[in-house]
């Protein structure tokens, strides 16, 4: 994102920030398309069978939800640190966010493995098809976030950010909270309901 004209935009909002919001709006529609398809078939198709809750591994998924929410907190703390001029704090909290993101993916991979062995596969029924499609799409977004945050971390270690120049940390934060939010929607509709 190009921030050379941050100060003289018509709205006063930097291009990058506005661009990120606009991008996230389209992401809402993307996930919205998938989630409404899921809701429609789950409520409308007589052949939609929901696996028993024990097979879904709710405790592990709850832990994973907790991990992801915590990573959102560390992301906020990273932004707070750099706004106060602490590059050390920025590096610390970005690393924590990255660590938690990898934890999330690790737990997710274990869950996939477990479910597949139990017989919930991509073609075992509509529930499995939607479960893998939507969570994998979400995981792809997590991976995208990992790439973005790793880049920030590398730049932070090079000393590129300080209390004035840290717009990208904020944009990455916006994105990361969105990814978090999507999971907060996916978790109940797949595990709890």
Partner 1 sequence: MTAAVHREESFIGKWIFSRDHKVIGLQYMFTSLVFLLIGFSLILLIRWQLAYPGRPIPFIGDLLPDSLAPGGIMMPDFYNSLGAMHGTIMIFLGIVPLGVGAFGNYFLPLQIGAKDMAFPTLNMSSYWVYFVGGVLMLSSFVLPGGAARAGWTSYVPLSVISSGQTTWLLAMTFLITSSLLGAINFIVTTLNLRAPGLTWSRLPLFVWAQFVTGLILLFAFPVLQAGAVLQLLDRVAQTSFYMPQGLIISGELSQRGGGGNALLWQHLFWFLAHPEVYVLLLPPMGIVAEILANGTRKPIFGYKEVAGSFCFIAVLSFMVWAHHMFVSGLKTSLSYLFMTTTMTISIPSIAILTCYLLSLRNASIRYTVPMLFTLAFLPMFGIGGLTGLPLGFTPTDVYLHDTYYVIGHFHYVVVTGTLIALFGGIYYWFPKMFGRSMNMFWGKVHFWGTIVLMNLIFFPMFIQGLAGVQRRLYDPTVQLHNLTVQPTNVLMSYASWGLLLFQVPFIVNFFWSIFKGARSEENPWQATTLEWACPSPPLPHVNFEKVPTVHRGPYEYSVPGREADFWPQNEEN
Q: Which residues of this chain interact with partner 1, rule CB under 8 A?
A: 1-2, 5, 9-11, 13, 15, 18-19, 22-23, 25-27, 29-34, 37, 40-41, 44-48, 122-126, 129-130, 133, 137
Which CB sits closer to partner 1, 81 or 172?
Answer: 172
Nearer CB in complex with partner 1: 130/190: 130
* Shortest Å distance, C-beta 163 to partner 1: 24
Query: Could you give the maximum distance between any two Cα atoms of the chain, in Å?
Result: 58
Cβ–Cβ contacts within 10 Å for residue 45, how many? 10
Question: N- to C-terminal Cα distance for the chain?
Answer: 40
For 73-86, give one letter per residue: b (16+ CB within 10 A) or e: ebbebbbebbbeeb
Least Cβ distance, residue 187 to partner 1 (angstroms): 19
Minimal distance in Å, beta carbon 77 to partner 1?
29
Min separation Cβ 125 and partner 1, Å: 6
- Residue closer to partner 1, measured from CB, 27 or 80: 27
Report phi then psi at 14, rounded to 5. -60, 150
- Select from 73, 94, 81 the least CA-distant residue to 145: 94
Question: 24 vs 69, which CB is nearer to partner 1?
Answer: 24
Q: Do 127 and 49 contact (CB within 8 A), yes or no?
A: yes
């Amino acid at each position: 994102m190009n921030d050379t004209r941050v100060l003289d935009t018509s709205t006063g909002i930097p291009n990058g920030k506005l661009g990120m919001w606009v991008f996230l709006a389209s992401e809402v529609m993307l996930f919205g398309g998938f989630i409404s398809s899921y809701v429609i078939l789950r409520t409308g198709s007589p052949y939609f069978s929901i696996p028993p809750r024990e097979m879904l591994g709710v405790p592990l998924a709850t832990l994973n939800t907790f991990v992801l929410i915590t990573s959102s907190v560390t992301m906020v703390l990273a932004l707070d640190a750099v706004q106060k001029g602490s590059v050390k704090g920025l590096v610390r909290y970005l690393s924590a966010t990255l660590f938690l993101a990898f934890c999330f993916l690790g737990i997710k991979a274990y869950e996939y493995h477990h479910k597949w062995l139990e017989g919930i596969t991509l073609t075992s029924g509509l529930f499995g098809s939607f479960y893998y499609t939507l969570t994998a799409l979400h995981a792809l977004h997590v991976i995208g976030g990992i790439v973005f945050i790793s880049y920030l971390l590398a730049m932070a270690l090079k000393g590129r950010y300080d209390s004035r120049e840290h717009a990208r940390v904020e944009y990455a934060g916006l994105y990361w909270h969105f990814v978090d939010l999507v999971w907060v929607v996916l978790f109940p509709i797949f595990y709890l309901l």
